[in-house]
Amino acid sequence: MKRIDLEIKALSPLAIGKQKPGGSVSETDDYISGTVIRGATAAQILQQSGHSSEDLSQNGGDFQRLFLSDRPAIFQNAYLATTDENVLSEVQVLPATALSSKNKSGFKSRGNGVFDTLIDRFCADAYGHLYDPNCPIDGDRVDAFTGFYGKINNKYYKPSVNKRLLTRVGINRRRAVSEEQILYSIEVLNESQKQKENSSIYRGAIFLDDAIANHLHNFICDRANDFRLGGSVSRGLGKTVVNASPPTDVNSTLEKRVNKFNEKLQKRWQEWQVFSAIPDEELLTNRKFFTLDLQADAILTDKWQRTTVISKVMLKEFAGIRDPSLQLHVAYSSYDYRSGWNAAWGLMKDVELVTNKGGVYLFSVNGDRLDEWVTALEQLEINGVGDRTSEGFGQVQICNDFHLVLREEAV
């Protein structure tokens, strides 16, 4: 499996619609979804080949292997990666367990700091205590802090996505003039940062088989200026420049992240003995813990029904491991609805119940089974969980580093 990193520079506003609206305003996402990148890539291939998708699927070739095979290429979401200093960094999704001050929320560069509560909540429950934190700076109440975060020179920041509304009037197709009583607005992502002239840059990735990685890389590089992303491209929206890095092997740091998480959990567990010498249950004995953090919205199904929780049965199925020692301890998740437009079919996509990105699930296994799980979880970070993973849904990360930022270490 190879990885191609993408840098997408916006040259005009981007209309990345969440779903078809019921009113007169079309809302947009805060990022470029894998679905949009996948569709734009497929459109470019079909345009250059001069064939329909049906012809290419019957005759084989790169198109079939990329989009229609049993193991299609995985197009991940692209998140905003520019800061005020115009420096690019890896951007990740904040876990649902992150909190910040209600009065002045945000990282310490602009607010009272942000911290994670997963480890402390787990320890408090085990020791039979109520965990109700306040802001370590001003002692005020705290609230959930959602969105994205990056880190440059050991300083955390939150990428700010700027949007605006474009108002349009409907056109009478017979008379070619504006139609009465038809006025609508499109919400778009700005092509540049607020009060800055530099273009907005989004970073994503594609995972695909070795056999076609170089072909796709060359195709994207040769047509870097031809990609149009999102809706209303005929009205001048969606113009971008797509830069692709050469294909590389997937190098995982998962084992290191799992070990750091368990070391932090073990240390915090001992510190909680100040409040209660004996926990309700000795959960850490011969156990290794790991978190599963959603880095993108996920479409999850359990026994033919939509769900927002990844149960231990589901994780065993995703990982392909039958381990009776696997336990789910806590789950933090919320839901939303997603739809869209399929340009190839000319039809609306089904409305899907999705588990929102940022969801956190804490699991544990027997210590002697950890190596087996590390290997399986490395593949899970590539392949994702749930349905439509090739479109960017279900992207996960194991043991996000932000879980190590405890309350007194707020950043």
Digit-coded pLDDT (tens) for 130-186: 888 988 888 889 999 999 998 888 889 888 888 888 887 777 778 777 777 777 788
Q: To which residue do tokens 């002697």 refer? A: 368
Q: How far apart are CA 49 and CA 61, in angstroms?
A: 11
- Does residue 1 contact residue 382 with C-beta atoms inside 8 Å? yes
Tens of pLDDT, residue by residue over 275-313, are 766 765 678 888 999 999 999 999 999 988 999 999 999
Better-predicted residue by pLDDT, 1 or 385: 385
Answer for the pair 116, 97: CB distance below 8 angstroms, yes or no: yes
What percent of the chain clears pLDDT 70, i.e. is strictly above it? 90
| pLDDT number for residue 196 | 56
Between 84 and 175, residue with greater pLDDT: 175
Lowest mean per-residue pLDDT among 47-51, 210-214, 333-337? 47-51
**Displacement of CA 139 from its chain's centroid (Å):** 32
Full set of structural domains in the chain with CATH: 2-85+160-249 (3.30.70), 254-409 (2.60.40.4350)
Is the distance from CB of 136 to CB of 115 less than 8 angstroms?
yes
Whether 60 and 76 have beta carbons less than 8 Å apart is answered as no
Sign of the CA dihedral with 285 first, then 288, 294, and 300 last: negative
Q: Which amino acid is at 157?
A: Y
pLDDT at 115 over 90: yes
- The candidate with the shortest Cα–Cα distance to 122, out of 360, 409, 295, 369, is 360
Q: How far apart are the first and last CA of the chain?
A: 36
Q: Write b or e for each residue in 137-155: b if 16 or more Cβ atoms lie within 10 A of its Cβ, otherwise e.
A: eeeeebeebbbbbbbeeee
- In DSSP notation, 130-199 reads ------TTT---EEE--SEEEEETTEEE-----EEEEEEEEEETTTTEEEEEEEEEEEEE-SB-TT--SB
- When computed from its CA atoms, the radius of gyration of the chain, rounded to whole angstroms, is 23
Give 208's pLDDT tier (boundaries 50, 70, 90). very high
Residue partners of 62: CB distance under 8 A and separation at least 6: 45, 212, 215, 216
**Average pLDDT of the chain to the nearest whole number:** 87
Please tell me which of 17-21, 39-43, 182-186 the model is most confident about, judged by mean pLDDT.
Answer: 39-43
Q: Which of 53-67, 210-224, 226-240 has the lowest mean pLDDT?
A: 53-67
Mean pLDDT, range 338-351, rounded to an integer: 74
Contact 147, 94 (CB under 8 A): yes
What's residue 406's pLDDT?
Answer: 95
pLDDT for residue 194: 61
pLDDT confidence of residue 277: 64
What is the pLDDT confidence band of residue 55, given thresholds at 50, 70 and 90?
very low
Phi, psi angle pair for 91, to nearest 5°? -110, 135
Confidence category of residue 274, pLDDT binned at 50, 70, 90: confident
Q: Which of 22-26, 272-276, 344-348 has the highest mean pLDDT?
A: 272-276
User: For residue 6, which of 191, 220, 203, 201 has the smallest C-alpha distance?
Assistant: 203
Each residue's pLDDT tens digit, 376-397: 999 999 999 999 999 999 999 9
